Amino acid sequence: MNFYLTYLLVATLLFAFTAIFALVALYAERKVSAFIQDRLGPMETGKFGLLQPFADILKMLHKEFIIPSAADKVLFTLAPIIIYVAVYMGFATLPWAPGVVPVSLNLGVFYIFAILSVETVGILMAGWGSNNKYALLGSMRSVAQIVSYEIPAGVSVIAAVMISQSLDLQEVSAEQGILAAHPIKFLGIWTVNHTGGILAWNIFQAPHLIVAFVIYFIASLAECNRAPFDIPEAESELVAGFHVEYSGIRFAFFFLAEYSMMFLVSMIAALLFLGGWNTPLPNIGPARLADWTTGTAWGICWIVMKAIILVGTQIWIRWTLPRLRVDQLMNLCWKILTPVAFACMLISGIWRLAVM
Amino acid sequence: MNPGELICYILAGVVVISALVVVLTANLVRSVFLFFVTLFALAGLYVFSLADFVAVTQVIVYVGGVLVLMLFAFMLSNKELLNSLRQPAAAKLSMLTNIPAGIVAAGVFTVLAISTKGLQLAAPSGMSLFPAGMLNAGDNTIHLLGVRLMTNYLLPFELASVFLLMALIGAAHLARKGKEST
How far is residue B139 from each of residues A62, A93, A167, B135, measured CA to CA in Å? Answer: 50, 17, 14, 7
Q: Are the Cβ atoms of A106 and B56 closer than 8 angstroms?
A: no
Counted across chains A and B, CB pairs separated by less than 8 A come out at 71
pTM: 0.85
How far is CA A225 from each of CA A229, A254, B72, rounded to the nearest angstrom?
6, 12, 18
CB contact B59 to A (< 8 Å)? yes
Instruction: Tell me whether residue B29 is in a domain.
Output: yes
pLDDT, tens digit (0-9, with 9 covering 90-100), for A164-220: 888 888 888 888 888 777 788 877 777 777 777 788 888 888 888 899 999 999 998
User: B-chain residues within 8 Å CB-CB of A107?
Assistant: 52-53, 56, 142
For the segment A14-37, what is each residue's pLDDT rounded down to a tens digit? 899 998 998 888 888 888 889 888
Q: Which CATH number belongs to the domain containing residue B22 in this structure?
A: 1.20.120.1200
Domain membership of residue B109 (yes or no) is no
| Cβ-based neighbour number of residue B1 at 10 Å | 7
For residue B51, name the pLDDT band (cuts at 50, 70, 90): confident
Residues B10-28 have a mean pLDDT of 86
Is the minimum CB–CB distance between B42 and chain A shorter than 8 Å? no
Give chain A's radius of gyration (CA, Å).
21
Instruction: Work out the minimum CA distance from B92 to partner chain A, whole angstroms.
Output: 26
Q: Is residue B20 part of a domain?
A: yes
Q: Do B68 and A124 touch (CB under 8 A)?
A: yes
pLDDT at A228: 82
Instruction: Enumerate residues 6+ apart whose C-beta is below 8 A from A139.
Output: A123, A124, A126, A127, A128, A232, A241, A242, B75
- The residue ranking higher by pLDDT, A250 or A237, is A250
Nearest to A188 by CA among A200, A179, A175, A171: A200
pLDDT band with cut points at 50, 70 and 90 for residue B80: low
Tell whether B161 is within 8 A of chain A (Cβ).
no
Using a CB-CB cut-off of 8 Å, the residues of chain A touching B142 are 106-107, 110, 167
Residue B133 is predicted with a pLDDT of 58
pLDDT at A1 over 70: no
Split at pLDDT 50, 70, 90, the class of B126 is very low
- Residue B81's φ and ψ, nearest 5 degrees, are -60, -40
3-state secondary structure chain A: CHHHHHHHHHHHHHHHHHHHHHHHHHHHHHHHHHHHCCCCCCCCCCHHHCCHHHHHHHHHHHCCCCCCCCCCHHHHHHHHHHHHHHHHHHHHHCCCECCECCCCCCCHHHHHHHHHHHHHHHHHHHHHHHCCHHHHHHHHHHHHHHHHHHHHHHHHHHHHHHHHCCCCHHHHHHCCCCCCCCCCEECCCEECCCCCHHHHCHHHHCCCHHHHHHHHHHHHHHHCCCCCCCCCCCHHHHCCHHHCCCCHHHHHHHHHHHHHHHHHHHHHHHHHCCCCCCCCCCCECCECHHHHCCCHHHHHHHHHHHHHHHHHHHHHHHCCCCCCCHHHHHHHHHHHHHHHHHHHHHHHHHHHHHCC
CA dist A128 and B74 (Å) reads 10
Give residue B93's pLDDT. Answer: 57
> Is the Cβ pair A143, B72 closer than 8 Å?
yes
A98: Cβ contacts below 8 Å, ≥ 6 apart = A174, A179, A277, A294, A295, A296, A299
Residue of A nearest to B79 (CA): A131
When pLDDT is cut at 50, 70 and 90, the band that residue B182 belongs to is very low
**Average pLDDT, integer, range A302-311:** 91
Q: Considering only CB atoms, which chain B residues are within 8 Å of A125? A: 33
Q: Does a structural domain hold residue B166?
A: yes
Predicted confidence (pLDDT) per residue in A273-305, tens digit: 888 888 888 888 777 777 787 888 888 888 999
Question: Is B144 within a domain?
Answer: yes
Q: Note whether B29 contacts A72, CB cutoff 8 Å.
A: yes
Scanning every residue of chain A, which has its alpha carbon at the shortest distance from the alpha carbon of B72?
A: A140
Determine, yes or no, domain membership for B53: yes
Q: Give the per-residue SS3 of chain B.
A: CCHHHHHHHHHHHHHHHHHHHHHHCCCHHHHHHHHHHHHHHHHHHHHHCCCHHHHHHHHHHHHHHHHHHHHHHHHHCCHHHHHHHCCCCCCCCCCHHHHHHHHHHHHHHHHHHHHHHCCCCCCCCCCCCCCCCCCCCCCCHHHHHHHHHHCCCHHHHHHHHHHHHHHHHHHHHHHCCCCCCC
Q: Does A104 touch chain B (CB under 8 A)?
A: no
Q: Look up the domain containing B7 and give its range.
A: 3-88+131-175
pLDDT band at A102 (very low <50, low <70, confident <90, very high): confident
Q: What is the pLDDT of residues A148-176, one digit of tens each?
A: 888 899 999 999 888 888 888 888 888 88
Of B63, B74, B75, the CB nearest to A117: B63
Number of domains in chain B: 1
pLDDT (average), residues B22-44: 84
Confidence of residue B137 (pLDDT cuts 50, 70, 90): low
Average pLDDT of chain A?
Answer: 85
Asked if the model's pLDDT at residue B161 lies above 90, the reply is yes
* Degrees to nearest 5, angle at CA B88 with B82 and B93: 120
Cβ contact A110–B56 (<8 Å): yes
Of A258-272, B53-67, B137-151, the range with the highest mean pLDDT is A258-272
Whether B36 is in a domain gets the answer yes
ipTM: 0.78
Smallest Cβ distance to B75: which of A113, A117, A140?
A140
Can you tell me the mean pLDDT for A315-328?
86
Q: Is A74 on the interface with B (CB under 8 A)?
A: yes
Beta bridge partners of A287: A284
The alpha-carbon gap from B117 to the nearest alpha carbon of chain A, in Å, equals 33
Q: Percent of chain B scored above 70 by pLDDT?
A: 75
Least confident among A79-88, A108-117, A345-354, B142-151: B142-151
Average pLDDT over residues A248-265: 88
pLDDT tens digits, A217-238: 999 888 888 878 877 776 677 7
User: What pLDDT is recorded for position A123?
Assistant: 87
Q: Tell which of B6, B27, B33 to mutate to test the A interface (max A CBs under 10 Å).
A: B33
Residue B119 domain flag:
no
What is the four-CA torsion angle of A292, A297, A301, A304, rounded to 10 degrees?
140
Q: Give exposure, B99-137, as e/b (b: 16+ Cβ within 10 Å).
A: eeeeeeeeeeeeeeeeeeeeeeeeeeeeeeeeeeeebee
Residue A124 and residue B66 in contact, taking contact as beta carbons nearer than 8 Å = no
Question: Closest by alpha carbon to A272, among A7, A128, A95, A100?
Answer: A95
